Amino acid sequence: MAGAGGAPAGAGARRWRAGLALALLGLGCAVGSQAAAPNAPAPRPAASPATAPVGVPAEPPALLLPVQGIKASELRDTFAERRGGDEPRGHEAIDILAPTGTPVLATDDGRIAKLFLSKPGGITVYQFDPSGKFAYYYAHLARYADGLAEGQSVKRGAVIGYVGATGNARSDAPHLHFAIFRLGPEKQWWKGEPVNPFGYLGGKKP
């Protein structure tokens, strides 16, 4: 984390990050990307035979780390954390700490499938990858990038929004909640099988 490109540098920032990392432990961070949707069926059971992939499931590509100035070495794998409350099945996402207003970047080429305001996730974006096999979910944004619209094509690295603490994120711990899920055949933006983003963002286990 020291020396992160565009991020605030120096001891102050390091202390800030360290403090946040602690603050996030046990934080009821958002979100079930699926359960939050309107008109969605009840949260799907943990293992649904109807949506189980046949054969070897596709893997997401190597992705761009979606918060400007953050390095892969700063990531912590929080996918399997159990936080109860809003996330009965576990976190199923990664939280990337950054100051409010830090640009959030499209992790891959693709299309903006849905701009959605949810109680746990706050201001969120659902992006489909070019193949339509995966959805990328960005939550707790402070706001969208100017002009961002549903159906819009985006390129990897495009600014789509800004880090914030909307939804159920703690106001003193702004971060991007980022999730990936494999879409089912119906390509419903609110429904899919969670994939751990950590390795696809370059994260390495200690």
- Supply the minimum distance, in Å, between the C-beta of residue 201 and Zn ion: 14
- Which residues, 71 to 100, sit near Zn ion by CB under 5 A? 93, 95
Amino acid at the residue 180: I
Closer residue to Zn ion, CB minimum distance, 93 or 123: 93
Inter-residue contact 201 to 63 (CB < 8 Å): yes
Closer residue to Zn ion, CB minimum distance, 177 or 191: 177
Closer residue to Zn ion, CB minimum distance, 29 or 180: 29
Q: CA nearest 94: which of 7, 167, 178, 191?
A: 178
Closer residue to Zn ion, CB minimum distance, 25 or 52: 25
Closer residue to Zn ion, CB minimum distance, 29 or 158: 29
- Supply the minimum distance, in Å, between the C-beta of residue 162 and Zn ion: 17
Amino acid at the residue 77: D
Torsion sign across C-alpha atoms 168, 79, 98, 35: negative
What number of chain residues touch Zn ion (CB under 5 A)? 4
Burial of 26 (0-12, 13-18, 19+ CB in 10 A): exposed
Question: Tokens at residue 6, please?
Answer: 């565009």
- Supply the minimum distance, in Å, between the C-beta of residue 186 and Zn ion: 26
Among 113, 141, 174, 177, binds Zn ion (CB under 5 A): 177
Q: Which residue stretch of 50-58, 113-121, 170-178, 188-196 sits at the interface with Zn ion (rule: CB under 5 A)?
A: 170-178
DSSP string, 174-204: -EEEEEEEEE-TT--TT-EEEE--TGGGT--
- Supply the minimum distance, in Å, between the C-beta of residue 146 and Zn ion: 25
- Which residues, 4 to 33, sit near Zn ion by CB under 5 A? 29
Check binding of 140 to Zn ion (CB under 5 A). Answer: no
CA–CA separation, 139 and 163 (whole Å): 9
Q: Which residues bind Zn ion (CB under 5 A)?
A: 29, 93, 95, 177
